[in-house]
Amino acid sequence: MSALQHATALQQEIRLWKEKRNAVILAHNYELPEIQDIADVLGDSLALARAAAKTDADVIVFCGVHFMAETASILNPEKTVLLPDLEAGCSLADSINVEQLKAWKAEHPGAVVVSYVNTSAEVKAESDYCCTSSNAVNVVRAIPEDREILFLPDMFLGSYVQRVTGRQNMHIWLGECHVHAGITPTDVNNVTRAHPRAELLIHPECGCSTSSMYMLAEGLLPQDKTHLLSTGGMLDYAKTSSSDTFIVATETGILHQMEKANPEKRFVAANPHAICPFMKKITLHNVLAALQEMKNVIDVPSEIRARAKTPIDRMVAIG
């Protein structure tokens, strides 16, 4: 049996077990192509949180990383949430813990805490709002301008939001996603020189995002061809744009969907080595095992869930 035939057989078996369990499979845009292809819902963190909040399935199989499965569990305490590999973590979420956040809050009493969704349930429970890259600007704009803001943990997304909103009373935690931080200004410069007619799509978490905003302001990047977008925003833009070539500055997993939805267009990774090892821990084998054995259940303690749900609800509600 070829590798393709084996993958197809596993996908068919997963679909059978999904029906038996009345399960729904949610998958992030950075997952392996064969995982994306079996998803009932495929999207960025915000889209998946909204899907988790609405599903009527008994079981949620979350093909993503740990904090995402936690978010689904917080929104659905009566449902069973499975994470196919418990080692699917997140370097960005690990860049701040609840003790560090409590100490930071003590230094800024009365400040509003905005936590990127890439955080643990414990950190969310100490927050006022959660956000994703697609709605971070709108979340900050929803907070009265005279209120001090603590934004965590991603410094690149925080810098982007601060520049767009003009908020001077916003403090930014110095955390980063090691994969996105590895997409550098040099990468962007090199690939834009090689593809001068291409449109440039940049995720706000990227290590090149702050420099790209500066270069945009200085006219060093074309205003009409440079776009800072969430992964969901990238997918939508690529479908509607008349351009035929795009440089994509984010984790390379998204290229599968982009190419699938736009076979006539070309997509070039700003850094082809921008691969998240945690996202790639989810495989067809461990998705099937999770469904068959109902293992790797994500269960958030009730006292943390109750406190974390409010900032998550606010995130889901704000467009």
* pTM score: 0.88
Annotated binding site: 28, 45, 90, 116-118, 133, 177, 203-205, 231, 276
Task: Summarize pLDDT for 94-146 with one digit per residue, the tens.
Answer: 999 999 999 999 999 999 999 998 999 999 999 999 998 888 999 999 999 99
Pairing, β 23-28 against β 41-43: parallel
Residue 219 burial by Cβ neighbours in a 10 Å radius (0-12, 13-18, 19+): exposed
Q: Could you tell me which of 45, 58, 53 has the C-alpha nearest to residue 18?
A: 58
Number of helices and strands in the chain (H, E) = 15, 12
Check residue 318 and give its pLDDT: 86
Statement: residue 214 has pLDDT above 90: no
Domains and CATH numbers, the chain: 3-88+279-300 (3.40.50.10800), 93-176 (3.40.50.10800), 183-269 (3.40.50.10800)
Asked if 55 and 48 count as a contact pair (C-beta separation under 8 A), the reply is no
Annotated binding site for iminosuccinate: 28, 45, 116-118, 133, 203-205, 231
Where would I find the H helices in 143-204? 155-165, 178-181, 185-194
Task: Summarize pLDDT for 236-275 with one digit per residue, the tens.
Answer: 999 999 999 999 999 999 999 999 999 999 999 999 999 9
Give the separation between CA 97 and CA 309, rounded to whole angstroms.
18
Annotated binding site for [4Fe-4S] cluster: 90, 177, 276
Task: Summarize pLDDT for 145-155 with one digit per residue, the tens.
Answer: 999 999 999 99
